[in-house]
Each structure stands twice: as structure tokens, then as C-alpha cells.
């Protein structure tokens, strides 16, 4: 599976400019099966008051569906603001090659350091989706820090974990450890798309097979699922789990 990471730092609140940038970069993707955008690329991270952007989800959905159908690839749509019944969610929209929305995921872990919990409502379920026959999971940014959450996704049989993010490079050291750790302990590929830069694709051994710089960039890599099967064939960690009762 060929994956392209669309990396760019959005301008806060500049909706039209951000969509133009996304359109330009998506247009530069060639021969990919899946593309992924960063967290809150539509608005930047994050404009206030959020209620002024409560209708952005519809525009985002239409944009992603059109891009996927036109280019014949699947899209992990980063994330966008979604307003539902007076609540605001940080939502990832997943679209297939036919331009159909096949899954959504609302960020479950809200970053208290940035007051996310005072503005957003936390999602309450995991999200898995099949893309071209490959089982995939979705997490958003801060979710990466919670191993039990990622393990729950892994136990569903995902092969690739996609993570849109707006992770500050001031905290890049722990993030670089965490992407590797989540990949190793769950024996999955981890695709991390970060608006601030240093996006990466990590294999099930924790090896970085592709890493970006810090500016606008399209990061591309081929993910070899046969390699994952070989890793698990040599040492099946999930099969060896001993679930203690006390």
C-alpha cells in the first residue's frame, strides 16, 4: 500500500487559504492508495471562538469526497471541527476511492494543556475502517500517549494506525519515542501526519521508513504488509499476552 502524508501548517482561521493549500498539495500526489492530512488543517489549531466555525464539517466533507473520487485514492481526512447537538468534536472523516464517507472518528483524549476539554467534547468510541482490504485504525494526536487506547484498536486486528496531529516540535522527543513504541508493542505500521512537521511512517519493528522535514511537504512511502506478517510470524506478541485477573 502506497501512503502519502500531506504536511502543512494551516493559517489560523483562514479557511479559504487552508483549503487552497490542501488542494495544491493533494494535486501533487501521484500513484498513492491512501493520503492523510493533519489535525485541524481546515482552521488551524485552533481558532476561537469555535462556534464561528461550526459549519466547517460540511465543507470539509464535500472537499474530501470530491478529491478522493477525482484522484482515485482513499483519504484519511486529518480532522476538522464538527458541531453536533450543541457539542463540538475534533473529527476525522475517512473517504474511500469512490468519494464516499465510510467512517468518522472523534478525538477521545483531549489535551488539557491546551484547554481542549473546555471547548471540545471527547469521543467515546474507537474507529476502524477497511481500505483496499487492509484493516486500519484512526487516532488523533494526543491519543498516541495512551497505550491502552491504541491496544484496543490493535486487538481488532488493525494493520496500520493513521494519526493526524498538530504536535508541537517542542515536544518532539517523547512523540518520536511514542510512535515507535506503539508500532513495536502492537506490531503495526504507524503513520503520523503532523502539521508542525517531522511526520513519519514507522514499521512494526519501530524503524522509521520515511520522515519529513518541517515545511510544506508530501511524504510518501510503500507499506509492505508482508513484512508485518513476517514480524508476527517470528514473534506474535498479542498471541503471547497473559491477561492477569488480579
What's residue 51's pLDDT?
Answer: 86
* b/e per residue 178-202 (b: at least 16 CB within 10 A): bbbbbbbbbbbbbbbbbbbbbbbbb
Q: Is 187 left (phi over 0), alpha (psi -120 to 50) or beta?
A: left
Low pLDDT (below 50) residues in the chain: none
Q: pTM for this one?
A: 0.97
Active site residues per annotation: 39, 107, 141
β-pairing, 160-165 with 189-194?
parallel
Strand partners, 34: 3, 74
- Helix extents (H) in 34-193: 56-71, 116-119, 147-154, 172-186
Q: Which residue has the cell 472523516?
A: 93
pLDDT digit string, tens, across residues 99-124 = 999 999 999 999 999 999 999 999 99
What's residue 76's pLDDT?
Answer: 98
Domain 2-234: CATH superfamily is: Carbon-nitrogen hydrolase (3.60.110.10)
Q: What are phi and psi of 5, to 5 degrees?
A: -100, 120
What's residue 66's pLDDT?
Answer: 98
CA–CA distance, 32 with 3 (Å, rounded to integer): 6
- Beta-sheet strand order (sheet of 208-211): 128-131, 134-138, 160-165, 189-194, 200-202, 208-211
Annotated domain spans of the chain: 2-234
Judge if the upstream peptide bond of residue 49 is cis by omega within 30 degrees of 0. Answer: yes
What's residue 246's pLDDT?
Answer: 76
The count of C-alpha atoms lying within 13 angstroms of the C-alpha of 165, restricted to the half-sphere facing its C-beta, is: 30
pLDDT digit string, tens, across residues 86-102 = 999 999 999 999 999 99
CA–CA distance, 128 with 157 (Å, rounded to integer): 9
Amino acid at each position: 500500500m502506497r501512503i502519502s502524508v500531506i504536511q502543512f501548517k494551516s493559517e489560523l482561521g483562514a479557511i479559504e487559504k487552508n483549503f487552497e493549500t490542501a488542494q495544491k498539495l493533494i494535486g501533487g500526489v501521484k500513484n498513492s492508495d491512501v493520503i492523510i492530512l493533519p489535525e485541524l488543517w481546515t482552521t488551524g489549531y485552533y481558532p476561537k471562538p469555535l462556534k464561528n466555525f461550526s459549519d466547517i464539517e460540511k465543507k470539509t466533507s464535500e472537499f474530501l469526497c470530491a478529491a478522493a473520487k477525482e484522484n482515485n485514492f482513499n483519504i484519511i481526512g486529518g480532522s476538522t471541527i464538527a458541531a453536533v447537538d450543541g457539542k463540538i468534536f475534533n473529527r476525522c472523516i475517512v473517504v474511500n476511492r469512490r468519494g464516499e464517507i465510510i467512517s468518522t472518528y472523534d478525538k477521545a483524549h483531549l489535551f488539557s494543556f491546551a484547554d481542549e476539554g473546555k471547548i471540545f467534547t471527547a469521543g467515546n468510541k474507537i474507529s476502524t475502517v477497511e481500505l483496499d482490504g487492509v484493516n486500519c485504525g484512526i487516532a488523533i494526536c494526543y491519543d498516541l500517549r495512551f497505550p491502552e487506547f491504541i491496544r484496543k484498536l490493535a486487538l481488532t486486528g488493525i494493520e496500520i494506525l493513521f494519526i493526524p496531529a498538530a504536535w508541537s516540535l517542542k515536544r518532539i522527543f517523547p512523540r518520536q519515542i511514542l510512535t515507535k513504541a506503539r508500532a513495536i508493542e502492537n506490531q503495526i505500521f504507524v503513520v503520523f501526519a503532523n502539521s508542525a512537521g517531522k511526520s513519519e511512517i514507522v514499521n512494526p519493528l519501530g524503524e522509521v521508513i520515511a520522515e519529513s522535514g518541517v515545511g510544506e511537504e508530501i511524504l510518501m512511502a510503500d507499506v509492505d504488509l508482508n513484512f508485518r506478517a513476517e514480524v508476527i510470524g517470528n514473534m506474535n506478541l498479542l498471541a503471547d499476552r497473559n491477561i492477569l485477573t488480579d
